[in-house]
Amino acid sequence: MSLLELFCNVDDFCLTITDWPENQLLGSSTKPGPKLELSASEIMTIIIYSHTAQYRNFKAYYTTYMMHHLRSEFPHLVSYNRFVELMPLVLVPLCLY
């Protein structure tokens, strides 16, 4: 599955669960705090797509591959530390997916 196909699939899934009470976990605008740089579907796509790469750990994948080769696909890409902070926001939707 290509990155674009994966993103479309994940984005469609995220659109179907927006009416659920767990929408708070997706970083809705009613939640106080800073605005999310990446959408929930982008975060989930990056996490899922990392499993297709041949890197030993997620940090190496993100800092080496994502930051250099896929920055054009994700123009609002955040630093590794910020991405790790955003990962728990999509835990429930990622498990459901």
Torsion, Cα of 64, 65, 69, 73 (10° steps): -130
**pTM for this prediction:** 0.81
Answer for the pair 3, 45: CB distance below 8 angstroms, yes or no.
yes
What is the CA angle 39-72-83, rounded to 5? Answer: 40
pLDDT tens, the chain, 97 aa long: 899 999 999 999 999 887 655 445 445 445 555 667 889 999 999 999 999 988 889 999 999 999 999 889 998 899 999 999 999 999 999 999 9
